[in-house]
Amino acid sequence: MNTKASPVTANPWETLRRFTDARIALGRAGVSLPTAAHLAFQLAHAQARDAVLVALDVPSLRQSLSAVSGKQPCLSLHSAAADRTVYLQRPDLGRRLDEASRKTLQELKATGPEAGARPFDVAFVVVDGLSALAIMQHAAPFLGVLQRRIAAENWSVAPVCIASQGRVAIGDEVGELLGARAVVVLIGERPGLSSPDSMGLYLTWMPRAGLLDDSRNCISNVRPAGLRYEDAAYKLHYLLAQAHKRQLSGVGLKDETLAAPQLQAAMPKNFLLDHSPTLGVSGVSGASGPQA
């Protein structure tokens, strides 16, 4: 039997670790981090770098999105950033479509099956952003949950667009060219050291190129370990319905929801508060959040 004492000095805050993924109360070995904590940090850093640099698998994503959107086609678009290096160095190019993509949308609006019909009520734009991993894992299953929730609204939905090397504002140009009343951008957020796969949702009413961040509503940290698909879909459905009703989005449109009623009982209590919390694992704001 090994009775040798552990070289790691425990931290008295260790009991709080069950409430957060943040790196707290790791202990110490002498004046250094314990080996296990140091290796875990290096792994998380590598995962965050991979999330930023790995390319979006567009054919695979199209297949996944087609499975949840039924007969609705998926359009492949690209920003004005030619490759990942340019995308990271020139954020402005990631906010605009390239000429070929712009022409594709113009032709669709002019000659497609929706030509002459009423404008699309909503368009969904799926963008790699700073984490293609988040989009590959969460975009299709989230849209499946959302579509079941909005099915009764009888909204006209534009073809789903996949925009490579894009940033949030690219959705404004896509929505404008499609003639959509509202656009929802699903985008991979800037990865953290505990969340390389976080997806953000950005809603804009009457999108057009050149809008500022205060025109958008943001729902962040959509992933099973953060804001669950059901909760995110509940909030987005509310914001979409209110945007259509009030004809606005951004700072003028506030999220006034709690958790979906059927999910409140399953939510863990906030150890800092005595009352039942709202969805504290995500930020919902009237401006662009983690991914601009």
Whether 166 and 94 have beta carbons less than 8 Å apart is answered as yes
For the residues 239-256, what does the mean pLDDT come to? 94
With 0.85 as the threshold, say if the pTM is over it.
no
Q: Which CATH number fits domain 51-255: 3.40.50.1980, 3.40.50.11240, 3.40.50.1360, 3.30.300.30?
A: 3.40.50.11240
Q: Are 120 and 179 in contact (CB under 8 A)?
A: yes
Flag whether pLDDT at 59 surpasses 70.
yes
Token pair, residue 74, equals 């998926």
Q: What letter does residue 16 receive in the DSSP assignment?
A: G
User: Is pLDDT at 261 greater than 70 in this prediction?
Assistant: no
| Separation of alpha carbons 254 and 245, rounded Å | 13
Q: What pLDDT score was predicted for residue 192? A: 84
Any idea where the domains of the chain sit in the sequence?
A: 51-255
Separation of first and last alpha carbons in the chain: 56
What pLDDT is recorded for position 263?
53
* Distance from C-alpha of 122 to C-alpha of 180, rounded to nearest angstrom: 6
What's the pLDDT score for residue 275?
Answer: 45
Quote the pLDDT of residue 270: 55
Strand, coil or helix: 210: coil
Nearest to 42 by CA among 56, 60, 23, 58: 23
How far is residue 25's CA from residue 16's CA, in Å, rounded to a whole number? 8
Return the number of other C-beta atoms located less than 10 Å from residue 246's C-beta: 11
